[in-house]
Amino acid sequence: MSISEGSGKSKVEELKAGESSGGICRLPVPSSRFPVLLLGLLLVAASASAAGGRYEVQEIKPGVFAWVPEDIVDQWSDPQFNRAGTAGFIITSEGVVVVNTTNSPFHARELLYEIRQRTELPIRYVINTCAHGDRMLGNEVFQALQASIVSTAVAREEMRRYRQQLERRIAEDYRMEARMRGFHFTLPTEVFDAEMSLKLGDGEIRIINLGGGHSAGDAVVYLPEAKVLFLGHLFENGYFPRLASSDVRRWVEILRQVESWKVEVCVPGNGAPGGKRELADFRMFLEWLTTEVQTRIQQGQALRQMKRELLATDNFRRSARDLASRAVEALYKQLSAPGLPPE
């Protein structure tokens, strides 16, 4: 196994140990038989739910897997990232590479369980495709297995800021403290600038910086031999995208660039794996939404009316519908002239 630099001035930085912080989960001690019985029933119900197909694992190419959860809002996670999101793993003869760790250590353990059903090889790398919580809040599970955690240098700095904000929110809201109990925020241990190449077994795994569209720290994971591309939040298959930190026009340019690559399977940030057609459909949705919002701004339409009319269209029949209104508002803010009234 070796790690080699790709095109551009790519660098890998090793961190010192001790970059994580978090809390300790303590369960209350029942004081009578009834609470003990109730707690047992709840644990059995939770186990049955976890085993009941709340996610599926697809082998999209030999040794390349996508972990695809249902569109379920979690009660025990950061409410800003309350969906697990699609993750993946690649099994090579020299170990496993994990792509994203979902929005909690609980889902990350489900991902680890599925890996262990298929191989006992060590988990060598974890790749976070961006700094959003639903890509990396499960990192701690794989750090405990001594995996190297990789992201762009920009994404790691965004994660540092996210951790500071999260600590402040937890300190200010007891409900947040309850939701995040048992989480141990874990930063990447290796970073790169332009491109990084992992050579494991007979194949190459390329990690390419494509920041500036969805977020500044975005990366994609490209398997040239298998023609598989993990895009993270750059591609949402049937789901509403997060646009708050985005430059949508640049995002569209990036997707047009990716559509020219030799790729057969595109793994999204949310939803099932698709192909070039699904990727193009998502790009066209972003283009359509940009045109609609821009036109309505020029016509002087108020944001409230814009939301109401756009949410009623067929193009807004997507999963994660709670993000729909936020997507319109975020794009409205990006495209509006300064001083334009919001309502």
Which residue's structure tokens are 């993990």? 230
Cα distance between residue 172 and residue 155, in whole Å: 26
- pLDDT exceeds cutoff 80 at 327: yes
Confidence at 287, pLDDT banded by 50, 70, 90? very high
Hey, what domains does the chain have and what are their CATH numbers?
2-25+54-275 (3.60.15.10)
Annotate 90-136 with DSSP letters as a single string. Answer: EEETTEEEEE--TTSHHHHHHHHHHHHTT--S-EEEEE-SSSSHHHH
Q: Which of 13-17, 92-96, 121-125, 323-327 has the lowest mean pLDDT?
A: 13-17
Beta strands in the chain (DSSP E): 2-5, 21-22, 55-61, 64-69, 87-92, 95-99, 123-127, 148-152, 184-185, 190-192, 195-200, 203-209, 219-223, 228-236, 265-270
pLDDT at 100: 98
Q: At a CB cut-off of 8 Å and minimum separation 6, what does 302 contact?
A: 341, 342, 343
State the CB neighbour count (10 A cutoff) for residue 80: 15
Judge if pTM exceeds 0.85: no
Minimum mean pLDDT range among 43-47, 134-138, 247-251: 43-47
Pairing of strands 203-209, 195-200: antiparallel
Q: Is it the case that residue 219 has pLDDT exceeding 60?
A: yes
pLDDT in tens, 147-188: 999 999 999 999 999 999 999 999 999 999 999 998 999 999
Least confident of 46-55, 195-204, 325-334: 46-55
Which helix or strand (DSSP H or E) is residue 271 part of? Answer: none
Cα–Cα distance for residue pair 321/311, rounded to 1 Å: 9
pLDDT of res. 245: 83
